[in-house]
Structure 1
């Protein structure tokens, strides 16, 4: 929606401000800012909002307008889709909206003028799991991979699905990659004999043992630094994110590639997946598409079976597999349900990279 399509002059002006920021902020942030413009459009004119909020963009950024706007937003009354109206905004979305308000306030208010912004609690990261649970996860995945086809509540896990899942979990437990780092892996990231795996860490990230160092250098809390380094930028303000990234830039640069040894069981799991994978990619028309380590199993909007699996697809596959493992193991003595989010498992792993890359 362009600025000319909004009825209130204040919202049209705000939309024009966001349009002018194209190229100055990331595409993701631009979409978030446009989302907030739409929320203002749905707020202006409501009984809760002051009448003058429709006049100029500056009137949107007074506490008299921001307070009812925030209350409506948090209550889910300003959602884009009518069917979702009334569903409270999750804390992460509240954080995004609040950060966007801060950015927009800097753009529309005169220099030196500030406005009170709503506060959002900074949620704690979800709990990690213990070493016994990690061992149980691997043993459970091995058992799951050896069973027949599994189907329950509309979820089906084929042999291929279970082979891929076991290999992904094995690599996670040995190298602790993020879903995006898994999605970026290719066949060249496996050492000869599948004895080690390479992970291309993002340069803006820092290993867990440097979080305290980064936090001290940036003069922010440890949890704030961990949120930025972990990619959870919606949890912190833009100012905090920039301070943490600046601190990382002052540290010794991280290696572009880190190699991690694969345990014998992990090697077996990866080889099993490679055999499955080979059958999937053989019929692909493009050679370039045949290099990805993790590929799709069924046709999708992305393409035919065998195309590179994206980060979201990896997370979905993991969640589907853990859900299946939890219901297969339900009732087993001592079994505690495992989290279906990869990040909770990844942060539980203490992976130590090799000092030198394996011989070619």
Structure 2
């Protein structure tokens, strides 16, 4: 019964029936602003509903008299749920051989975020919920800034080399051309993988001289939090708590000061423009020529900048490349680059995660009028 009530609440904000998806209700987002959940968050919410179903049927909660969905978020029940979740006892599937049963920190953070959303759906507006804490993982080491030039030169050589194949991984000419263009954009604009995957042809200016990124502003850049803090005369940590959806951590008076300061500042731009270096322009033109051949036989996928090279579950070559495919392509490319450059003087093995490369880069947007937008 309580899990059924919880599922009904989740259904309203993350309906499983895609025919009614556009009519889904919003949830409270950063700063209390109403937002609609993404497809990824919807899948995560349903994952946690399944975890609750397994939790209430577990030995530790089976005898409890839990009469409503709101009661699931009582302190004693939530503590049991979290203990079981941390230990991996609420997994839908057993982990593969050699993998730990306990949930990794990244997954626990997702579960905690979903619990916060769910509590807001079923608890009274004035009902405080003490969510479990999750340690902030140390960020992985970034690429040293002085090595970035070597990365670019190595990828240029890689793009011009013959087909590469080793240990079951192969990079075609098309793969190498797309990889070089992708990494060049990362080096010039430092997009996140989701922002890079979302690029469309219209996000490039004439001559590929600049690229426009739609930054994910839900957590706001650090300088924005500091600007608000200075204007409101509060600590930046209080501002971040409000911007990141943890309003309960500050008093009402502090929240009102933050809200007023935020409203007074100029809004963040919807699109940020970044100038592209001549080498990036050339890499993009080469990729656009390859892309044109790929999309020519099909009707869909014509607006996406990055498209698939081979048939996938999504369709034939030339359809939009999803973020997961993009990160996989980057990992293959960095693995191949490490093969080619291994043993060369001054070379350091590159990470296969795009985030570690992105965080090593400092970029500044240019005014829209400079690029003619």
Please confirm whether the aligned pair reaches a TM-score higher than 0.5, indicating the same fold: yes
Q: Could you say which residue in structure 2 is the equivalent of 1:166?
A: 180
Contact 1:10 1:53 in 2 (8 A): no
- CA RMSD of the aligned region, Å? 3.5
Would the alpha carbon gap of residues 205 and 247 (structure 1) be closer, same or farther in structure 2, given more than 3 Å must change?
farther
How many Å separate the matches in 2 of 1:281 and 1:132? 37
Q: Could you say which residue in structure 1 is the equivalent of 2:31?
A: none
Runs of 4+ in structure 1 deviating by more than 6 angstroms, as ranges, are 243-247
Shift of 1:270: 1.7
How many Å separate the matches in 1 of 2:80 and 2:333? 43
How many Å separate the matches in 1 of 2:349 and 2:67? 54
**Alignment deviations for residues 61-117 of structure 1 (CA, whole Å, 9 cap, x no partner):** 333322222111011110122456962212222122223333444554566554543
Q: Could you say which residue in structure 1 is the equivalent of 2:2?
A: 10
TM-score, structure 1 as length reference: 0.80
Contact 1:173 1:346 in 2 (8 A): yes
**Alignment deviations for residues 21-80 of structure 1 (CA, whole Å, 9 cap, x no partner):** 551333444443332222121122323336115554454333332222211101111012
**Alignment deviations for residues 262-314 of structure 1 (CA, whole Å, 9 cap, x no partner):** 2222222122212222221222235xx33432221111122221223233322
Contact 1:204 1:248 in 2 (8 A): no
In the alignment of these two chains, the number of paired residues is 342
TM-score, structure 2 as length reference: 0.77
Deviates more, 1:87-96 or 1:56-65: 56-65
**Alignment deviations for residues 210-261 of structure 1 (CA, whole Å, 9 cap, x no partner):** 45325656856569949x7xxxx7xx75868xx8999766531233443322
Shift of 1:359: 5.1
How many Å separate the matches in 2 of 1:53 and 1:155? 55
1:9-158 to structure 2, matched below 5 A, reads 9-21=1-13, 23-25=25-27, 26-28=36-38, 29-49=41-61, 51-83=63-95, 87-109=101-123, 112-114=126-128, 116-158=130-172
How many Å separate the matches in 1 of 2:140 and 2:238? 12
Shift of 1:319: 1.7
Contact 2:26 2:37 in 1 (8 A): no
Residue ranges of structure 2 left out of the alignment (5+ in a row): 14-23, 28-35, 250-254
How many Å separate the matches in 2 of 1:281 and 1:245? 47
**Matching of residue 357 in structure 1 with residue 370 in structure 2:** yes
1:212-223 to structure 2, matched below 5 A, reads 212-214=226-228, 221=236
Would the alpha carbon gap of residues 261 and 109 (structure 1) be closer, same or farther in structure 2, given more than 3 Å must change?
closer
**Alignment deviations for residues 129-152 of structure 1 (CA, whole Å, 9 cap, x no partner):** 321121121122112112221112
Residue ranges of structure 1 left out of the alignment (5+ in a row): 1-8
Q: Could you say which residue in structure 2 is the equivalent of 1:253?
A: 267
